[in-house]
Structure formats: structure tokens, C-alpha cells
């Protein structure tokens, strides 16, 4: 079920809110049980079989949490439980997400002849698996109390706002909120507005520019004109940002409606002046997850040798690339960032670039998104060559002209919305707070009406991160 669908906006969400604040308003326990059942129904709507995989994950990680808490004074036994938990969770993710990829490569490298099973990918498996791991490790570290009630573990892992495309909510950030959150009208209002902003990002910007990106990446790379190649690359750069940040906005907003306060997942990444800064601003929940559960346990940057630092970075960025999908394009994409961030950490050259740091950062971010979007490495390299007129391709063709003219205002809007306009406008104007609030309300309502009109007319409506 998509957040940007009529059934969610006009049926599922209103019904959940009515039951939550109406029938179950006086019981925290009943509210949590209801949210769990609603979340499982939400997931089962599109994945009726794979909801069983999630339920198995909930039950097993609930058990692992109890065992880790039981052995908290016996580090050897507790660590053994952590190892078993990691094997269990990562094996499930490997079977559904990476087994076909692994067998395909073995078949190709060894020259073997065998049938490869066609395994469907459960939506959002990377997100809810990482949350399950977070629960057990945070209990082990004492960063959140163990849940004696398995239904509370189920709510944490399956809560529908962040279930299928994040943000990845670490257990320590909401451990207390599961039983002791406080809903209020102010948070509900903020959550509603945040949801509408995310919906607008998704429907107006991401979906519109997705049409340009899909066309560009469907053309044979050598037949792309230079301008069309850049238009497609920029369109995807904006699409993936507004698609994913829009979903995160909607998830954070929905969380607020039910009293949950999730951490931010994006902080204007396209204003970054270094690759390291970009990854402090992009998909923050994933970056901090790998930092706290992989990078720091390996020693982080506080190691005695540069070789160890490089190794730690290599592990993290290899896993980051692989987390995004079972394709060599994602692995190469992750390794590209490994090389760039390693160079920045070892040489500090990015601190000397000044304004050019932004140009350098965005160039590699855009080229990285080309690899990320390409079906294979060969096509990605060919596409990049066309961007720099290295394929004997023409500078501009009629397609480039038409796509630019039809979408020029969306490119402009996407560029402006990639900037911290609220802060900029706030510094440049001295609007009365009541006037500012009134304008914000009017603009939010207008955005909702326009977004809903796009939903109703059934416009192109993919979600990129559902695949991860």
C-alpha cells in the first residue's frame, strides 16, 4: 500500500486514526495492539505471504532480546546470542535478497549449468531486518530496556509509517516511546503538515522528473545526446532525493500523528561541500546505523594505523553498497564512495577546496546516481561517456529540447526545494509570526489539494526504495 495512494489517504489512514483516538483512546496497551495489527495489515496488503516472514522475525528477535537480557552479566553467553541473532537475521536477508545474485555469479564464474530459483523480494526487508538487529544489540548494550511483551517488539519492527522505506529507526531512540509516549494536538498538527510536504515532494517533483529519467535510461547510451544524458542524470538525482526524502517526511509526519518522534533522515544533502558531508546529510539513519553497529565496533577512525582505517572504511562502504541491492552497480557505487571518503580522511584535501568543494561533490554524486540507476556497469559507463561527449554522440537532439521545455519549471522547483529555503527566507524577511503561520497553513492546504489531484488522476507513482 503506497502512502501516495487514494486507498491510504482516504481510507486506511482515516480509519486507523478514528480507531486510535476514538475507540482505544483510553488504553495505551490497546493502542499498541491496534497499531501492530494495522501495521501487519498494511504490509500484508501488498505482501500477503511475506507477512509471515516478518512475524517470524518478530518472534525470533523477541526471544533473542530476552536471552541477551538474561545473560547481561555473562558477556560470553550474551555475545554468543548476538552472533546467533546476526546469523539468523542476515541469513533471511541473504536468501531473499542475495541468493539469486550469488548463484548467478557462481554459475558464470565456474561455467556451471544449473537452474537458479526465482525468489521474490519482500518489500522493505532491509529496513525491518536492520531494525530487528538494532533491537537486540541495543538491549545488549543497555541502550533500551528489553520488552517482555512480544507485541511491543512487533510494533517496533513492523510500525507501518517506517516499515517499507525507512527511516531506519534504532531501538534506543524510541524504546521509551513505545509505552510512554504522549500524543498532543501540536505534534499531530506538525505531523499532518510534514506528511503533506512529503506527499508534495513525491507527487509533484519525484514522479514528474521520474518520467524524464526513465526515458533517458531506456535509450541506448551511445544514442543519447549530451544534453539528454545530463537531463536524465539530473532528473534521477532529483527523483531519488525527493522520492526518498518525501517518503521519510511522510513517515516522520505519520509517526508524530501517533506520538512517535523519529530522527531526521535528510538534511539538505545537495548543499554539501564534501563527500563526507554529503553522507552526514543523506540517508542519515542508514549512515548512523553502519557507524554505530559496524564502523565503531571495528575501531572507527580511532585506530593505530592508516591501513586499519582504510580497512574499516572498506567494510562499511562495501556493505553500504550491497545493502542497496544485489547488483554489481550498487557494489561499485559503494566502492566509489569508499575511495572518495578515504581520500578525504587521509589527505583532508576537501577542506581546501572552498566553493569548488560543492562542484566536486555534486559531480561525483550525480555520476554515482548514474551507476546506481543503470541496469549494469557497462550501461552506466556508457551513459557517463555520453554525458561528456565521449561516445561520438551529438550535443542536443529533439528529445532533449522537448523534455527540457516540458519540465524546466520542475527542474527549477526541484533545485529551489533542495535548498534550506525556510532558513533563507526567515533571515531575509521580518514577517509577523501570525502572518507567517497563516501563509504556511494556506500553502500547505494548497499543496495537499494539488497532490491529491495528482493521486486521483492516477499519475506515474513508483517508490524507488521499496526495492531495498
What would the grid cell of residue 354 be? 572552498
Select from 386, 70, 17, 412 the least CA-distant residue to 195: 17
Instruction: Determine how many CB atoms are found less than 10 A away from the CB of residue 426.
Output: 12
C-alpha of 127 from chain center: 8
Please, are residues 61 and 89 in contact by the beta-carbon 8 Å criterion?
yes
Tell me, yes or no, if 182 is annotated catalytic. Answer: no
Q: Which residues contact 95 (CB under 8 A, 6 or more apart)?
A: 119
Unique residue bearing C-alpha cell 554459475: 107
Please, are residues 317 and 334 in contact by the beta-carbon 8 Å criterion?
yes
Instruction: Determine how many CB atoms are found less than 10 A away from the CB of residue 289.
Output: 23
Catalytic choice (182, 283, 324, 358): 324
Q: How far apart, in whole angstroms, are the C-alpha atoms of residue 232 and residue 400?
A: 9
Please, are residues 407 and 215 in contact by the beta-carbon 8 Å criterion?
no
Tell me the H-state helices in 201-225: 207-216
Q: How far apart, in whole angstroms, are the C-alpha atoms of residue 372 and residue 367?
A: 9
Please, are residues 53 and 60 in contact by the beta-carbon 8 Å criterion?
no
Q: What is the three-class DSSP state of 4?
A: coil
Instruction: Determine how many CB atoms are found less than 10 A away from the CB of residue 111.
Output: 7
**Left if phi > 0, otherwise alpha if psi is -120 to 50, otherwise beta: which for 166?**
left
Q: What is the three-class DSSP state of 175?
A: coil
Q: Which contacts of 175-182 are long-range, i.e. CB under 8 A and separated by 24 or more positions? A: 175/138, 175/143, 175/144, 175/145, 176/144, 177/259, 177/260, 177/261, 178/32, 178/147, 178/152, 179/28, 179/32, 179/152, 181/258, 181/259, 181/260, 181/261, 182/259
Q: What is the three-class DSSP state of 170?
A: coil
Peptide bond before 167: cis, by omega within 30 degrees of 0? Answer: yes
* Catalytic machinery residues: 324
Amino acid at each position: 500500500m503506497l502512502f501516495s495512494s487514494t486507498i491510504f489517504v482516504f481510507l486506511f489512514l482515516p480509519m486507523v486514526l478514528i480507531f486510535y483516538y476514538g475507540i482505544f483512546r483510553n488504553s495505551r496497551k490497546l493502542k499498541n495492539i491496534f497499531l501492530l495489527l494495522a501495521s501487519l495489515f498494511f504490509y500484508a496488503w501488498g505482501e500477503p505471504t511475506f507477512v509471515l516472514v516478518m512475524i517470524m522475525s518478530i518472534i525470533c528477535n523477541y526471544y533473542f532480546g530476552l536471552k541477551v537480557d538474561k545473560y547481561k552479566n555473562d558477556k560470553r553467553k550474551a555475545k554468543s546470542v548476538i552472533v546467533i541473532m546476526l546469523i539468523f537475521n542476515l541469513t533471511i536477508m541473504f536468501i531473499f535478497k542475495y541468493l539469486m545474485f550469488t548463484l548467478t555469479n557462481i554459475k558464470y564464474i565456474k561455467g556451471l549449468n544449473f537452474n537458479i530459483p526465482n525468489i521474490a523480494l519482500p518489500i522493505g526487508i532491509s529496513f525491518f531486518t536492520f531494525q530487528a538487529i538494532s533491537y537486540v544489540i541495543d538491549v545488549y548494550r543497555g541502550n533500551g530496556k528489553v520488552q517482555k511483551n512480544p507485541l511491543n517488539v512487533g510494533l517496533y519492527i513492523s510500525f507501518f509509517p517506517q516499515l517499507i522505506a525507512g527511516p531506519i529507526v534504532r531501538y534506543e531512540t524510541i524504546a521509551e516511546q513505545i509505552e510512554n509516549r504522549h500524543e498532543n494536538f501540536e505534534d499531530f498538527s506538525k505531523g499532518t503538515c510534514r506528511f503533506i510536504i512529503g506527499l508534495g515532494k513525491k507527487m509533484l517533483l519525484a514522479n514528474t522528473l521520474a518520467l524524464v529519467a526513465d526515458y533517458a535510461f531506456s535509450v541506448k547510451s551511445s544514442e543519447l545526446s549530451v544534453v539528454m544524458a545530463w537531463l536524465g542524470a539530473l532528473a534521477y538525482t532529483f527523483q531519488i532525493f525527493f522520492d526518498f526524502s518525501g517518503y521519510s517526511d511522510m513517515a516522520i509526519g505519520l509517526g508524530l500523528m501517533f506520538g512517535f518522534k523519529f530522527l531526521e533522515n535528510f538534511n539538505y544533502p545537495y548543499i554539501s561541500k564534501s563527500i563526507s558531508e554529503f553522507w552526514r546529510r543523506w540517508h542519515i539513519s542508514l549512515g548512523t546505523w553502519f557507524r554505530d553497529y559496524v564502523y565503531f565496533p571495528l575501531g572507527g577512525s580511532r585506530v593505530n594505523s592508516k591501513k586499519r582505517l582504510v580497512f574499516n572504511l572498506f567494510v562499511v562502504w562495501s556493505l553500504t553498497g550491497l545493502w542497496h541491492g544485489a547488483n554489481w552497480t550498487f557494489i561499485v557505487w559503494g566502492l566509489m564512495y569508499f575511495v572518495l571518503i578515504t581520500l578525504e580522511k587521509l589527505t583532508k584535501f576537501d577542506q581546501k577546496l572552498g566553493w569548488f568543494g560543492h562542484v566536486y561533490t555534486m559531480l561525483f554524486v550525480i555520476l554515482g546516481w548514474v551507476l546506481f540507476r543503470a541496469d549494469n556497469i557497462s550501461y552506466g559507463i556508457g551513459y557517463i561517456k555520453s554525458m561528456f561527449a565521449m561516445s561520438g554522440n551529438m550535443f542536443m537532439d529533439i528529445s532533449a529540447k522537448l523534455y527540457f521545455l516540458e519540465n524546466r519549471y520542475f527542474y527549477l522547483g526541484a533545485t529551489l526545494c533542495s535548498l534550506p529555503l525556510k532558513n533563507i527566507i526567515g533571515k531575509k524577511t521580518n514577517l509577523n509570526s501570525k502572518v507567517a503561520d497563516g501563509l504556511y497553513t494556506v500553502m500547505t492546504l494548497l499543496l495537499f489539494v494539488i497532490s491529491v489531484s495528482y493521486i486521483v488522476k492516477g499519475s506515474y507513482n513508483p517508490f524507488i526504495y521499496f526495492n531495498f
